[in-house]
Structure 1
Amino acid sequence: MKLYFCDLPKLFTFLKPVAIWDEDGNRRYTLKNDESLTHAGYRLHLMDSAYEEVALIRQKLLTLTPRFYVDINGEERLVSLRRSLKGKSYFEVSGTDWKTEGDVDQWEYEIKAGDRSIAFVRASQARKKACADAMNFLASAVTSAPRTFSKESCCEIDISDGVDEAEVLAVILAAVAAIDVR
């Protein structure tokens, strides 16, 4: 399953929902920012197509590196953004054997569990109709001014069969949020 979403600068500071599209142009998920002022840090709600919450992504404050909790399927995962000695970012997910290979900052990486591929994440040039529709929707929702999207503006996530799609998506969105707050 391929999913697409578009990243505007500081995506998660906007109060407008962010749509995540599948390869057929159907809205599969919506990411909503918690507009309540009672919580410190980011609180993002991942909703399915029926607007039922499937995951809560919340920022862990007062840490040296950006960290977000992902609450999904009754479990809590901690997503920690790290930087290797070579300067490339990667993230760790508590309670899993997931690891990233590639460059998280440039949206060119793979998530693996041991030798098994979980997902590929890459910047997309908006060749798919779903991505173009998502960009147009976001551009009209956020600003009335024309917006030019660069290669880095749209992300394609190719999730392997037999993997919990919502969990993988929530972890990836937590990593994107961690990059944004860094």
Structure 2
Amino acid sequence: MKLMFKQRFFSWFDSYDIYDEAGSPVFTVSGKPAWGHKLEIYDRNGSHLATLKEQIFTFLPRFYIIINGETVGTITKEFTFFRPSFNIDCNGWEVKGDFFEWDYSIYSREGGVVAQIEKQLLRLTDTYIIDVAEEQDALLALMVVLAIDAVKCSQNKN
């Protein structure tokens, strides 16, 4: 399943639309005022699915994964020198990025590829293609991309 993740051009807070291969909306993401990033994820019918909330005052960026009002895990950027890496503690996934921090792969605990994330260059807003192997992993893969984008956004402000 391929998803196109596209940031909205005019928005006070982080807002994104996520489309399937046919161009139909699958998810919408709305940023909320908070200390750190707080992103609410909705399905195509407007029903709330999940929240990604940044923990502030940490050495390395960390985001809480909240589904159905319950914190199910975290996404944490790991300290590395050359290639960005993130750990997802709710299911054993690991995220490895390329040297330029544009493309990422998500790996399962067993080492299989869960999703490939490719940043589209030369766009007015942040745009990613998310190629998810299994449809049931799409929401969590999207949350990983949101966390990566939030970290990159924060780094660019400094």
TM-score by length of 1: 0.72
Q: Percent identical across equivalent pairs?
A: 24
Structure 1: gaps (5+ residues): 126-147
- State yes or no: 1:119 paired with 2:115: yes
1:104–1:72 Cα change, 3 Å: farther
Matched position secondary structure for 2:114: strand
1:105–1:91 Cα change, 3 Å: farther
1:65: which partner in 2? 60
Judge which range, 104-113 or 46-55, deviates more.
104-113
C-alpha distance after superposition, 1:27-56 (max 9, x if no partner)? 111110114xxx422211011101111110
Matched AA of 1:176: D
Question: Where has structure 1 moved over 6 Å in runs of 4 or more?
Answer: none
- State yes or no: 1:177 paired with 2:157: no
* Residues 86, 96 of structure 2: 8 Å contact kept: no
1:18: which partner in 2? 16
Please state which structure has a larger fraction of its residues in helix.
Answer: 1
User: Alignment RMSD, CA only?
Assistant: 2.5
1:26-65 correspondence to structure 2 within 5 Å: 26-35=24-33, 39-65=34-60
Matched position secondary structure for 2:150: helix
Matched AA of 2:117: V
TM-score by length of 2: 0.82
1:95-106 correspondence to structure 2 within 5 Å: 95-103=90-98, 106=101
